Amino acid sequence: MTQALLHGDHHVHSTFSDDAVSTLQENVAAAAAAGLRTVRLVDHVRQSTTWVPEYLTAVRALRVPEGLTVLTGVEAKILDASGGLDIPELPAGIDRILIADHQFPGTDGPLGPTAVRERIAAGWAPADVLDQLVDALIRVMHRHPGNQLAHCFSILPKIGLSESELGAERIAAWAQAAADTGTLVEVNEKWTCPGPEALVALRSAGAEIVASTDAHIASDVGRYERILPLLDAREAH
């Protein structure tokens, strides 16, 4: 199972993202060189983004080596506790939205990590913080089914919490929502998440996982190291 996962990279950024340096074609070439069978080309969007049609045109023009499947995606952050996304109206042709916890989903909009830490220091109970995060993730999966969770739970160490504090009940509810909504969950090389307990829960719920590097440069495409212990621990359970 682990080896099959590593034949794909489901989160690769190009110069359509302002923090990446490689072109779409360079990423495709790197995926082929790494022996991948599948690569998902993904770039960051906001509600104000207008370049998605141009991106799709560029993807259609790519020279794709035989044996490689190219998929498309856009990455959008969760805006709030209701499960809203910071995303424009999308044209046909985007295979998946990558749902990202770049900031914390507050009741009135996204909160930066510093703001959440300050609120915890002022008395916001960590259990309530975790409830709000998991509830938001479940809501966004139901509002936008059939998509993909990007580096899920990467927000936790930024706000001074960890996956180990989520507990079995929250993780089980999250995993079941992924299964019920047909949401892919990526195991992310860059952020090394989600962890083994979450991955085991996903398997128990019947949810599908994929591997991703979250590469921002072509030389990282399909190169896995940090997630290997996570996948091995999942297989051991």
- pLDDT tens figures, 226-236: 999 999 989 87
The count of other CB atoms within 10 Å of the CB of residue 115 is 14
Write the single-letter amino acid at 177.
A
| Contact by Cβ (8 Å): 194, 174 | no
- Mean pLDDT throughout 95-113? 97
Q: What is the DSSP string of 32-98?
A: HHTT-SEEEEEEE--TT---HHHHHHHHHT----TT-EEEEEEEEEB-STT--B---PPPTT--EEE
Global model pTM greater than 0.95: yes
Query: Average pLDDT, stretch 210-218?
Result: 98
Q: What is the mean pLDDT of the chain?
A: 97
116-172: per-residue pLDDT in tens? 999 999 999 999 999 999 999 999 999 999 999 999 999 999 999 999 999 999 999
Percentage of the chain modeled with pLDDT above 70: 100
Is the pLDDT score of 237 beyond 80? no
> What pLDDT was estimated at residue 235?
84
Mean pLDDT for 57-76 is 98
Which H or E element spans position 145?
Answer: none
Rounded mean pLDDT of 203-215? Answer: 98
182 secondary structure, DSSP code = T
Q: Give the chain's domains with CATH numbers.
A: 2-236 (3.20.20.140)
Parallel/antiparallel/unpaired status of strands 104-106 and 109-111: antiparallel
Does the pLDDT value for residue 1 go beyond 80?
Answer: no
The Cα–Cα gap between 20 and 233 comes to 31
How is residue 58 written in tokens? 């560029």
Percent of the chain scoring above 90 in pLDDT = 96
In single-letter form, the type of residue at position 24 comes to: L
